[in-house]
Amino acid sequence: METEYGSEPLSEYQRQSRKDCARVYNHICRVFNKLTIERIVRIAMFPGADHSSLPEKLKPWCLSDPNSAASRHNGWKGLFGRLDFEGHFVTALTDINPMGKTGTVVHPNQRRLLTVRECARAQGFPDKFRFYSDRDDTKDMHRQIGNAVPPPLAYALGRLLVEAVFKKHMENKKLKGKGKLVV
């Protein structure tokens, strides 16, 4: 899926992410059942809001009942959690699920979960990089992103590896003239 950008870049990071890309790709959310969607839509609109802000009738039993495992684990704060624009992602996720281990996946100021593109940007993928799935399944796309080495990290490691190999080559060249070889 592709669409037009909604505005000009608002930051240098957006400008760099959009480089060589006229349209935005994979800006799609995972699909859930009606009850889960209702819960996502009803999460309070402030950073850090989670399932505890839901009306009683929408709170999942496993998170609100005093006899549930959640009651022994501080209510599993963060499930159906709203992100903070001033905060950060806890980790790269392979499954965007509000009831998952890291359930803080609700958009900071919209009534929806993060899209495939938003997660890709958080990992440093440029917007021109497209994610594909045989079934056009966002779960597959999220898994690709969560399992990937972030491109900026791969680039930095690659540069250091090239420097190390070049340095070793130069040392060997110097020592070879003296009849020695460094392995």
Q: How far is CA 67 from CA 59, 88, 140, in A?
A: 14, 32, 35
Q: Which residues, in sequence order, are CB contacts of 18 under 8 Å at separation 6+?
A: 5, 9, 24, 126, 127
The encoded tokens of residue 135 equal: 């079934």
Q: Are residues 140 and 161 in the same domain?
A: no
Q: Are residues 92 and 156 in the same domain?
A: no
pTM of this prediction exceeds 0.85: no
Q: Are residues 88 and 169 in the same domain?
A: no
Q: Cα–Cα distance between 90 and 108 in angstroms, integer?
A: 14
Q: Are residues 113 and 93 in the same domain?
A: yes
Tokens 């250091």, residue located: 160
pLDDT of 66 reads 74
* Cβ-contact 91, 123 below 8 angstroms: no
Please tell me the total count of domains within the chain: 2
Q: Are residues 167 and 79 in the same domain?
A: no
| pLDDT confidence tier of residue 178, bands split at 50, 70 and 90 | low
Q: Are residues 158 and 122 in the same domain?
A: no
Q: Are residues 118 and 158 in the same domain?
A: no
118-156 pLDDT, tens digit each: 999 999 999 999 999 988 789 999 999 999 999 999 999
Q: Are residues 139 and 169 in the same domain?
A: no
Domain that residue 55 falls in: 2-149
Q: Are residues 74 and 119 in the same domain?
A: yes
| pLDDT confidence tier of residue 182, bands split at 50, 70 and 90 | low
Q: Cα–Cα distance between 5 and 74 in angstroms, integer?
A: 41
- Residue 37 sits in a domain of what CATH number? 3.90.120.10
Phi, psi of 175 (to 5 degrees): -75, -30
In terms of Cβ atoms closer than 10 Å to its own Cβ (0-12, 13-18, 19+), residue 67 is exposed
* Cβ-contact 123, 37 below 8 angstroms: no
Q: Are residues 57 and 107 in the same domain?
A: yes
Q: Are strands 24-25 and 2-3 parallel, antiparallel or unpaired?
A: antiparallel
Q: Are residues 33 and 91 in the same domain?
A: yes
30-72 pLDDT, tens digit each: 999 999 999 999 999 999 999 989 998 998 878 777 777 777 7
| pLDDT confidence tier of residue 174, bands split at 50, 70 and 90 | confident
Q: Are residues 166 and 141 in the same domain?
A: no
